Amino acid sequence: MKVDFKRIKPYGDTMDDGAVQLSFSLPVPCGEEAREAARQLVAKMGMEEPQVYHMADLGEGYTYFIVYGKCTHTVDFSSIRIPKVETDRMDFYGINRFIRERIGRKVVVLGACTGTDAHTVGIDAIMNMKGYDGEYGLERYPGIEAWNLGSQVPNEELLAQAIERNADSLLVSQVVTQKGVHIANLTQLVELTEAEGLREKLILVCGGPRITHEMALELGFDAGFGPGSLAPDVASFIVRELARRREEKERTGS
């Protein structure tokens, strides 16, 4: 089957059939009018032959739909460029060896769920001794001094701890957010580190289900890690970036 990468469309069982499944609710009472509204709405999304396969009354004048349609839009896959964290991923042993050989001291990493966020699953997956999905967390790395400050840490507190512990890198996790509060919170941290004159010294990393590397760069972070990232991804980036900065400093400084 030949794929036209300049004009790709969703695939169901036939090339370019455009098959898409959708589910959503509308604030209208359940009935034939509701079904028609869902159908029309999906047509406006650019779907041909919208089919409402399931409709359910949610009460309070709301209705739920499962709709299939054939998407008419295409995208040019060949022109897509996504900035990625450009680091070769090392494993646990490789990272520790890298630290021994290229940095020669322990790398201090502070992790926290900042602001109002109380969901530590993400930061725990990266930091905890036990780790996640078969990968040890940073606390297990002999070359890394890892401090997990937990949840709901104010940015000011994180920064105070960073100064006290002479941190090399800050890991900020943002999991559950509402109305974009994580953006404001992440931006504030960058501003605070700048105000304290620490931005150059610190490697700022953020992560979470809604974080992308591109967005992290936009906010002034050094890297962003989305869902599925594990400790070695984060650690590889940190140690290479730290080594890069040190070597650059040595070159320009001396």
Considering only residues 78 to 107 of the shown chain, the ones binding another protein according to CB under 8 A are none
User: How many other β-carbons are positioned within 10 Å of the β-carbon of residue 5?
Assistant: 12
**Distance of alpha carbon 26 from alpha carbon 63, whole angstroms:** 5
Does the protein bind another protein through residue 117 (CB under 8 A)? Answer: yes
Tokens of 139: 């606390």
Considering only residues 56 to 75 of the shown chain, the ones binding another protein according to CB under 8 A are 56, 58-60, 62, 64
Closest CA to 192 of 217, 168, 157, 222: 157
Whether 130 is a known active-site residue: answer yes
DSSP letters of 76-140?
-GGG--------PPP-HHHHHHHIIIII-SPEEEEEEEBTT----HHHHHHHSTT-BTTB--GGG
Does the protein bind another protein through residue 120 (CB under 8 A)? Answer: yes
Alpha helices in 134-229 (DSSP H): 155-165, 181-195, 213-218
Does the protein bind another protein through residue 51 (CB under 8 A)? Answer: no
- 129 to 148: interface string for another protein, x by CB under 8 A: -x------------------
Does the protein bind another protein through residue 180 (CB under 8 A)? Answer: no
Does the protein bind another protein through residue 24 (CB under 8 A)? Answer: yes
Partnered with residue 168 across adjacent β-strands are none
Q: Exactly one of 75, 121, 163, 195 binds another protein (CB under 8 A); which one? A: 121
Q: Exactly one of 45, 181, 215, 243 binds another protein (CB under 8 A); which one? A: 181
Phi, psi of 22 (to 5 degrees): -135, 145
Does the protein bind another protein through residue 184 (CB under 8 A)? Answer: no
DSSP letters of 37-51?
HHHHHHHHTTEEEEE
Name the catalytic one among 2, 130, 179, 249: 130
Does the protein bind another protein through residue 229 (CB under 8 A)? Answer: no
Q: Point out the residues that are catalytic.
A: 130
User: Which residues are at the interface with another protein (CB under 8 A)?
Assistant: 23-25, 56, 58-60, 62, 64, 116-118, 120-121, 124, 128, 130, 150-152, 175-179, 181, 209, 227
